[in-house]
Amino acid sequence: MSDIDVAMARALLLARRGPSSDPNPRVGCVVLDDAGEVVGEGWHEGAGSPHAEVAALARAGTAAHGGTAVVTLEPCGHTGRTGPCTAALITAGVARVVFARPDANPDAAGGAQRLRAAGIHVSQIEDLGLRTEADALVARWQQAQDLGRPVVTWKFASTLDGRGAAADGTSQWITGAPARQDVHDLRADADTILVGTGTAWTDDPRLTVRDRRGADRPQQPRRAVMGLRGLRPGSVLERTGATVLDTRCPHEALRRLWALGSRHVWLEGGATLAAVFWQARLVDHVVAYVAPAFLGLGAPAVADLGIGSIDAIARLRLDDVTRLGDDLRLMLTPTPDPTEGA
């Protein structure tokens, strides 16, 4: 690998240190001096904090002059809570900027053009693997920008006969330990975990992201509850200050979460809440865990989706199948309704 490729791989690692629960994309930056040596590193630590380029330039100091800034996302050219990264790069006197992917956000795009106008050589990295990695790093954030609302991932677990709970209401645990840990790993990429008040009252969930020892991770998504019942007094969510969305309208819930900075909602349940989002066509991804077990009687994992005939069957694209212990994880994307726009 070239020095630039090595620096970009490092920048991608730095970017992952940024919080997933943030309205901004995760970005990393490495600054090389004119001899190709690393003199500064930085990443975006959250809304209102210095952007990755600014943090890396601060560590590099005057050694950045005549050097190269290697950054995972095209430097922004706009002023938000902080100033434009392009201005910082120009002031630092860097000679070259290499980025992994262009910034498709219309409010922030155009940074490369501004840098070129200032006489800085700007290019996109040639390594397709690094480009793909950079795309994946901000995929959910970019999708949210395109949608103008948070991306919604619906997760559920079921038995082979489609049950999400037993006849007596118990539901822990349908799947085994590997699948449950996988849920926490995926939750960590969302900035909000959302349940309905029914689930909040019945299960009294923590809605945290935990490591393999069962301890809460340092970075936690927002915990939110949607519905008109409020929180059960003394419940975990009530004691820890979960966000209450006192509405039954999924569009309104997402509007409020967007205003709070949410860009990726992990929809945990229950089945009724998920059905509301599905019927409103607000589910963008589905993660289904299937256990090799039967319950017979019991609550279905999926509630009424408003499908009345086989002609209206809701088909999904199967993106991935992974075995986790004895369980299967299916990752799916709803396919467009062929009747829409007709």
Average pLDDT score over residue span 171-192: 92
Q: Is residue 290 part of a domain?
A: yes
Q: Is residue 212 part of a domain?
A: yes
Does 53 participate in catalysis according to the annotation? yes
* Judgement on whether residues 276 and 129 belong to the same structural domain of the protein: no
- Summarised one tens digit per residue, pLDDT across range 136-161 is 999 888 899 899 999 999 999 999 99
**190 φ, ψ (degrees, to nearest 5):** -100, 155
* Judgement on whether residues 135 and 175 belong to the same structural domain of the protein: no
Q: Is residue 251 part of a domain?
A: yes
What's the CATH number where 246 sits? 3.40.430.10
Q: Is residue 309 part of a domain?
A: yes
Residues 152 and 182: beta-carbon distance below 8 Å? no
Q: How many domains does the chain have?
A: 2
Residues 41 and 30: beta-carbon distance below 8 Å? yes
Residues 196 and 269: beta-carbon distance below 8 Å? yes
* Judgement on whether residues 25 and 107 belong to the same structural domain of the protein: yes
Decide if pLDDT at 119 tops 70: yes
* Judgement on whether residues 136 and 209 belong to the same structural domain of the protein: no
Mean of all residue pLDDT scores within the chain: 91
Continuous H helices in 16-75: 52-60
* Judgement on whether residues 109 and 192 belong to the same structural domain of the protein: no
Closest by CA to 89, choosing from 124, 51, 141, 46, is: 51
- Indicate the pTM of the whole model: 0.84
Catalytic residue among 37, 45, 53, 268: 53
Q: Which of 143, 173, 205 is the last residue of a domain?
A: 143
Decide if pLDDT at 342 tops 50: no
Q: Which of 143, 174, 195 is the last residue of a domain?
A: 143
* Judgement on whether residues 154 and 134 belong to the same structural domain of the protein: no
Residue 340 binned pLDDT confidence (cut-offs 50, 70, 90)? low
Report the distance separating Cα 184 and Cα 81, nearest Å.
31
What's the CATH number where 49 sits? 3.40.140.10
Q: Which of 143, 167, 199 is the last residue of a domain?
A: 143
156 burial level (CB within 10 Å; 0-12, 13-18, 19+):
buried
Q: Which domain holds residue 242?
A: 149-334
- Summarised one tens digit per residue, pLDDT across range 32-71 is 999 999 999 999 987 778 899 999 999 999 999 999 999 9
Q: Is residue 103 part of a domain?
A: yes
Residues 11 and 29: beta-carbon distance below 8 Å? yes
Decide if pLDDT at 294 tops 60: yes
Q: Which residues pair with 45 in a beta bridge?
A: none
* Judgement on whether residues 125 and 165 belong to the same structural domain of the protein: no
* Judgement on whether residues 59 and 162 belong to the same structural domain of the protein: no
Q: Is residue 342 part of a domain?
A: no
Closest by CA to 334, choosing from 307, 316, 313, is: 316
Report the distance separating Cα 212 and Cα 226, nearest Å.
29
Judged by average pLDDT, the poorest of 144-148, 291-295, 305-309, 333-337 is 333-337
Report the distance separating Cα 141 and Cα 151, nearest Å.
8
Q: Is residue 341 part of a domain?
A: no
* Judgement on whether residues 101 and 173 belong to the same structural domain of the protein: no
Amino acid, single-letter form, for residue 213 = R
* Judgement on whether residues 178 and 322 belong to the same structural domain of the protein: yes
* Judgement on whether residues 128 and 160 belong to the same structural domain of the protein: no
* Judgement on whether residues 233 and 293 belong to the same structural domain of the protein: yes
Decide if pLDDT at 169 tops 50: yes
Report the distance separating Cα 227 and Cα 194, nearest Å.
11
The pLDDT assigned to 327 comes to: 97
Q: Is residue 340 part of a domain?
A: no
* Total Cβ atoms within 10 A of residue 319: 12
